[in-house]
Each structure stands twice: as C-alpha cells, then as structure tokens.
Amino acid sequence: MNTQDLIVVMKTAQLGNISAAAAQLDMQVATASAAIKRVEKHLGFQLFVRSTRSLRLSKQGETYLPICEQALALLDNGKKQVLDNDNEIDGELRLTAPSDFGRNILLPWLDELLDEYPKLALKLILNDHNLDFYRDGVDIALRYGAPEDSSFYGFKICDVPLLLCASTEYIEKQGTPKDHEELSEHQGLFFLIRGSKFDTWKLTKNEQTYKVVLKGRRTSNDADVVKRWCAQGAGISLRSAIDVADQLEQGVVQSILNDYRVECKPLWLICPSKQMINPSVRVLRDKLRVYCQALVEKAERYK
C-alpha cells in the first residue's frame, strides 16, 4: 500500500472533503479520489460513506483511521531516525590517493580527522594507476584532473599551479635558465604517467605557449622519488604547488622562470555515484579545500 495514498485518506478524513484535501496536497481531485479507491480496494472495505453533497467516515473507517495515523507516525519516526544516523560522522572512509601526496601531505590531515571523529575508521590505498573503484575496494578517490567517466560524481578541491623547481645546489652548479630555450639545455627530472615519460612541458609567456622538450637521465613512476632527486640537486622538476610549498618555505628548492606560467592541475575528490556522498565525505572535502588552498597560497608567497 502506497503511503502517499494513506496521506490522502487522512487529509480527506480531516477536512471532510476530497476537493479540499486535493487542494492542500497540491494534486488534482481525480488523483486524490483514485488514491482513496486504491486504499479501499486493498483493504476490502469502504472508508467513506459518500453522497452527492457530503462525505463521512464509515464505521470501518472510524476504526481504521486511528490505526492508520499511528502507522504513518511510526514510519515518519523511522525516517527521521535514519536521517539522524546518516548525519553522524562514522563508519569506514575508504579512500585512494596519489602515493606521494598521500604519504607526505594527506596523512597528517587524515590523522587529525580521525582524532576529531572517534567513530570514523579509515582505509587508505596509495597508488598512481588508473582509477578503478572496484579493483581497489574504495568509495572515494583523490586525483588530479576532472573525472573522465561521466557517470562519476566529484567535488573540485582546488586548482593547483605547477611550478618549475630546482635546488639551490643545482642552481649554484648549473645556473638558472633565463628563458624556455635555456631550460631545454638543463637536466630534467621526469615523472612516468601511465607508462609515458612526462618530458614535454608547456610554458606560457605574453600569451605565447612554448613546448619545451627536456633531456634527462632520471625518470620514476613515484613522485616522491622525483621530489628527492630535485632536493638533492639532480635536476629541474615540474612540481605541483601543494607538493612543493613546504620545501619552498624551507629553502630546500627554489621556483624558477616565474615570469612564465605553467598550466594548473585541478585536484578532485571523486565518487562512483552521488549516493556515495555522505557526511564523512563532505567533512573530508571541506578539510581538503581549506588545507590545499592554504598550501597553494604558501607556494605563491615563497616562489
């Protein structure tokens, strides 16, 4: 039996008129009348005694309506309890994130989240391969770039600028490139993306875009390795502002060619469906937006 039909019955009994009940429930009179007939057919008896001018409860209707009212109240109560429980920050947060970002930046934020919400548990998978929720057994993913699958649902955390970085040691030994042409003569440190070496960098200056192909002897599929090579003076790397913010502040590396602009990479929190968005995911999203934006702004100050 449809609960909406029962609501029509209750409203009609309250007002003593199908037309008035239909008006209050914002439906056509014929729709309200059909709802009452469906309930009566399901029950096997008439709820109302009808005449051309009036409508009143039948004897069976007088017995049934208080029970119906209690049942609807019970269902409404159950709905409220479920919604209240859904607003709790609890359960398991199953998240995948890029290896370097997760290990060196995200981890303390997640520890803070768990301290703040004692009922929350965490499953963290760190990897850099193509996103597959079912293979990795996760519900949400933190990834650079908008969702490629149109069926996925996501939140944009922030736009993350890319910066050209080198250590002080490297700059002292090899000098600072003055423009994109000199950059191509320097040693690049490359990240392997889905099996392809990311050794062509796009730089823009005065609305002119240049594709710079670098030479380099070091390539890795682990961003943390590239980060260490850069800090050790092995070459120049193209790094996200979030990743390099603390190293810029500490003077471990320097941002170079700042009169050029390098593309931004959007950071997204992605779910396989909208139904996966719960209070825990929203709390994580809000914290990520605050912390990531703070790191972007720090990188801008120290570059």
Q: pLDDT tier at 80 (50, 70, 90 boundaries)?
A: low
What is the mean pLDDT of the segment spanning 227-252? 94
pLDDT value for 124: 93
Sign, Cα dihedral of 277, 279, 282, 287: negative
Question: How many residues belong to the chain?
Answer: 303
Query: Which residues are bridge partners to 256 per DSSP?
Result: 164
Place of tokens 């060619």: 257
150: confidence class by pLDDT, cuts 50, 70, 90:
confident
Residue 84 has pLDDT above 60, yes or no: no
Q: Give residue for tokens 């969702």.
A: 147
Q: What is the pLDDT of residues 100-142, one digit of tens each?
A: 899 989 999 999 999 999 999 999 998 877 777 777 778 899 9
- Residue-wise pLDDT for 166-225, tens only, equals 999 999 999 999 999 999 999 999 988 777 788 899 999 998 999 999 889 999 988 889
Q: In the chain, what are the helix, strand and coil shares in percent, each to the nearest 5?
A: 45, 30, 25
The reported pLDDT for the residue numbered 26 is: 84
For 183-233, give the DSSP string.
HTTSEEEEEEETTEE--EEEEEETTEEEEEEPEEEEEES-HHHHHHHHHTT
pLDDT at 10 over 80: yes
Give the DSSP per-residue string, 108-170.
Answer: HHHHHHHHH-TTEEEEEEE--S---HHHHT-SEEEEES--SSTT-EEEEEEEEEEEEEEEHHH
C-beta of residue 266 within 8 angstroms of C-beta of residue 159 = yes
- Kindly state the percentage of the chain with pLDDT values over 70: 96
Q: What is the pLDDT of residue 66?
A: 87
Residues 282-298 as b or e (16 or more Cβ within 10 Å = b): ebbbebbbebbeebbeb
What per-residue confidence (pLDDT) applies to 236?
A: 96
Quick check: 290 pLDDT over 90? yes
